[in-house]
């Protein structure tokens, strides 16, 4: 159905009408008989794109499915998400990647782009079917063993060399296992010692970031650093991006999660496993560095690391609970709360245009001009939002924002010309 979005503030700068034809494309005049949305007072942005989502299907449909994750994404203003490969079975074959892609199309609420594993079974030793996954209908371009680090430098080098042939990118979970093993669950510092929790030192991230940018430079390939969490990593990235720009033959990009922009390690004092994430929450000085790096472009994008877990996986002693927290529905509000000085064009850059470019999604993250696909989110910019985890479309409730007041509310989401969220509620619900 055609659509007219009336009186929106485009990127917060001036007021305009947006016209959508029957094919889901933005056009330059109002189609006859179009459905109408009153967008007065709302900011229009390109639909958000998430580089880092865990949808849990196949294998853990009790925690999330591609359909429920798509619903949560639409409510958060997303029109595309990249589904991480650490499912059961792992997304390490063309068949598995294609199945995730098909389930996303069947859900039909956002574009679900599978991320392929770098190594078979996330085992860290043998490369997965990188080329076959890329040549499949899913067209995989981003590869990651997220949840585990590709810690063997030789394997990482081979992966970078392989994906270079088709313009792919390796997204690295940077965690040296010899410095931060599987038991590490809390930022290593005075608090971890006082709580008696195994420490996860920042250096375990920083040495892998440093190694990988050098491998990307050596191979002339593309590396993406997932969920950056320390000021030391920012320092390495700042040097590497300057060097990559000067060389012009390789590239490094990076993402930060909303929770690492707002929450600190002090929250762990109560041993609440809701706040157990990987990498862990860090001290305020790291949070400040991450905010500065996102604002100045050293960190390219915001990615949620949406990690739903069934209640029985989180309700354990802190050291035994699963890592991760949900975040799709609140990401925009958290970013606006953490960085109120960030302009709307910059919000669009870090949450839509740049993640789309990194993922190679040509029809996402585009300016809202005639000729572009109609992927649009409309936001009430100054609305106060009190988060209720029980109102979530996700199947899981490991929500660190429950009861918190955030700024900005997603009011409408349009995916390929179809209204998926209207007045803050799912249209298909």
Question: Measuring CA to CA, which residue among 112, 171, 160, 163 is closest to residue 134?
Answer: 163
Whole-angstrom Cα distance, residue 327 to residue 401? Answer: 9
Please report, in angstroms and rounded to a whole number, the separation of the first and last CA atoms in the chain.
Answer: 19
Whole-angstrom Cα distance, residue 204 to residue 303? Answer: 21
Q: For 74, phi and psi rounded to 5 degrees?
A: -60, -40
Peptide bond connecting 279 to the previous residue in cis, omega within 30 degrees of 0: yes
**Cβ neighbours for 236, distance < 8 A, ≥ 6 positions apart:** 206, 209, 210, 213
Contact 339, 351 (CB under 8 A): no
Question: Measuring CA to CA, which residue among 338, 360, 367, 365 is closest to residue 350?
Answer: 365
Token output for 186 = 């809390």
Whole-angstrom Cα distance, residue 228 to residue 184? Answer: 17
The residue assigned the tokens 């250096």 is 203
Query: In a 3-state reduction of DSSP, which class is residue 110?
Result: coil
Cα angle at 78 between 77 and 83, to 5 degrees? Answer: 150
Question: Measuring CA to CA, which residue among 143, 151, 122 is closest to residue 222?
Answer: 143
Distance of CA 279 to the CA centre of its chain: 14
Whole-angstrom Cα distance, residue 150 to residue 154? Answer: 9
**Cβ neighbours for 398, distance < 8 A, ≥ 6 positions apart:** 274, 307, 308, 309, 314, 324, 325, 326
Token output for 241 = 């991006």
Active site (annotated) includes residue 305: yes
The active-site residue, picked from 305, 320, 388, 390, is: 305
Whole-angstrom Cα distance, residue 297 to residue 112? Answer: 26
N residues, the chain = 429
Strand (E) or helix (H) holding 78: strand 78-83
Query: In a 3-state reduction of DSSP, which class is residue 408?
Result: strand
Catalytic residues: 305
């Amino acid at each position: 159905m055609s659509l007219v979005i009336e009186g929106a503030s485009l990127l917060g700068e001036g007021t305009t009408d947006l016209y959508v034809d029957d094919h889901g494309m933005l056009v330059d005049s109002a189609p006859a008989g179009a459905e109408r949305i009153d967008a007065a007072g709302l900011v229009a942005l390109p639909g958000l794109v998430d580089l880092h989502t865990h949808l849990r299907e196949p294998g853990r449909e009790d925690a999330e499915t591609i359909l429920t994750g798509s619903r949560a994404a639409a409510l958060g203003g997303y029109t595309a998400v990249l589904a991480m490969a650490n499912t059961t079975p792992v997304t390490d074959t063309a068949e598995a990647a294609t199945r995730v892609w098909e389930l996303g199309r069947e859900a039909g609420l956002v574009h679900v782009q599978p991320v392929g594993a770098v190594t078979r079974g996330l085992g860290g030793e043998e490369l997965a079917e990188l080329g076959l996954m890329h040549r499949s209908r899913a067209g995989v371009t981003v590869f990651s063993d997220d949840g585990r680090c590709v810690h063997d430098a030789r394997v990482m080098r081979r992966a970078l060399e392989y994906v270079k042939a088709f313009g792919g990118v390796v997204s690295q979970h940077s965690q040296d296992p010899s410095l931060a093993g599987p038991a590490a669950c809390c930022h290593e510092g005075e608090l971890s010692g006082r709580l008696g929790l195994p420490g996860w030192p920042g250096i375990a991230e920083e040495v892998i970031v440093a190694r990988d940018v050098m491998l990307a430079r050596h191979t002339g390939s593309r590396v993406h650093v997932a969920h950056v969490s320390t000021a030391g990593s920012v320092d390495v990235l700042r040097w590497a991006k300057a060097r990559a720009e000067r060389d012009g033959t390789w590239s490094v990009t990076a993402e930060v999660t909303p929770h690492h922009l707002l929450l600190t390690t002090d929250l762990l004092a109560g041993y609440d496993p809701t706040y157990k994430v990987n990498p862990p929450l860090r001290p305020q000085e790291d949070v400040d560095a991450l905010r500065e790096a996102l604002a100045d472009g050293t960190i390219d994008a915001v990615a949620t690391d949406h990690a739903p877990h069934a209640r029985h996986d989180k309700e354990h002693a802190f050291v035994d609970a699963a890592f991760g927290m949900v975040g799709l529905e609140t990401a925009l509000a958290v970013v606006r709360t953490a960085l109120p000085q960030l302009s709307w064009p910059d919000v669009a850059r870090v949450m839509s245009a740049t993640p789309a470019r990194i993922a190679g999604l040509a029809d996402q993250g585009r300016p809202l001009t005639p000729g572009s696909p109609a992927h649009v989110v409309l936001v009430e910019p100054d609305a106060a939002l009190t988060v209720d985890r029980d109102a979530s479309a996700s199947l899981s409730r490991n929500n660190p924002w429950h009861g918190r007041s955030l700024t900005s509310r997603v009011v409408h989401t349009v995916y390929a010309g179809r209204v998926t969220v209207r007045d803050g509620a799912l249209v298909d619900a």
